[in-house]
C-alpha cells in the first residue's frame, strides 16, 4: 500500500509515549500497523479486537505478519501482555488498551514516519530483556 493513497481517516491514531518507550522495535511496528490503514480498524476507525492465535485474515497473527513477517506472533503477544499494552478477553480476543494510542493531530509529523516503519521489511534486533 502506498503512503500517497492514505486518507485522513487512516491516520486517526498514533502510539503514545508508553508504547514508544516500553516496547521493542518489532512490537512497536505491530502497534503502528494496528493503528494504521491495514484492515485492523473497525467501522469507526478504532483498533479492532483481534482473535489471538488463529491463523486467519484479520487475527493477531495476521497483524504481526503484516507488520513484519520475521516476527513470531506468540513472542510479540507475550511482550505486549507483559508490558500491559494489550489484554486478553475470555472470548479469546486481544484488546489494545486505550493508554497505548492517542488521537493524531493534523500537525503530527510522526504518522508518516511510523507508517513507513511499518511497511519496511527490516527485521528488528532482539533486546536481551525481551526473551
Report pLDDT for 54: 81
Report pLDDT for 68: 94
Alpha carbons 96 and 32: distance in angstroms, whole number: 12
Considering Cα of 61, then 15, then 10, then 90, what sign does the dihedral take? positive
Instruction: Provide CB contacts within 8 A for 103, sequence distance 6+.
Output: 12, 13, 14
Q: What is the pLDDT of residues 75-104, one digit of tens each?
A: 999 999 999 999 999 999 999 999 999 998
Report pLDDT for 81: 97
Alpha carbons 32 and 14: distance in angstroms, whole number: 7
Q: What is the pLDDT of residues 7-62, one digit of tens each?
A: 444 578 999 998 999 999 999 999 999 999 888 999 999 999 999 878 788 999 99
Q: Cα dihedral angle (98, 75, 129, 33), rounded to 10 degrees?
A: -40
Decide: 22 and 129 in contact? Cβ < 8 Å. Answer: no
Amino acid at each position: 500500500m502506498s503512503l500517497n493513497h492514505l486518507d485522513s481517516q487512516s491516520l486517526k491514531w498514533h502510539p503514545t509515549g508508553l508504547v514508544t518507550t516500553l516496547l521493542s522495535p518489532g512490537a512497536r511496528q505491530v502497534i503502528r500497523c494496528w493503528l494504521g490503514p491495514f484492515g485492523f480498524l473497525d467501522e469507526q476507525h478504532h483498533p479492532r479486537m483481534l482473535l489471538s492465535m488463529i491463523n486467519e485474515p484479520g487475527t493477531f497473527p495476521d497483524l504481526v505478519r503484516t507488520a513484519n513477517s520475521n516476527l513470531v506472533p506468540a513472542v510479540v503477544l507475550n511482550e505486549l501482555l507483559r508490558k500491559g499494552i494489550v489484554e486478553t478477553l475470555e472470548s479469546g480476543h486481544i484488546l489494545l488498551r486505550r493508554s497505548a494510542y492517542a488521537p493524531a493531530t493534523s500537525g503530527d509529523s510522526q504518522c508518516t514516519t511510523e507508517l513507513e516503519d511499518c511497511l519496511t521489511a527490516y527485521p528488528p534486533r532482539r533486546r536481551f530483556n525481551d526473551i
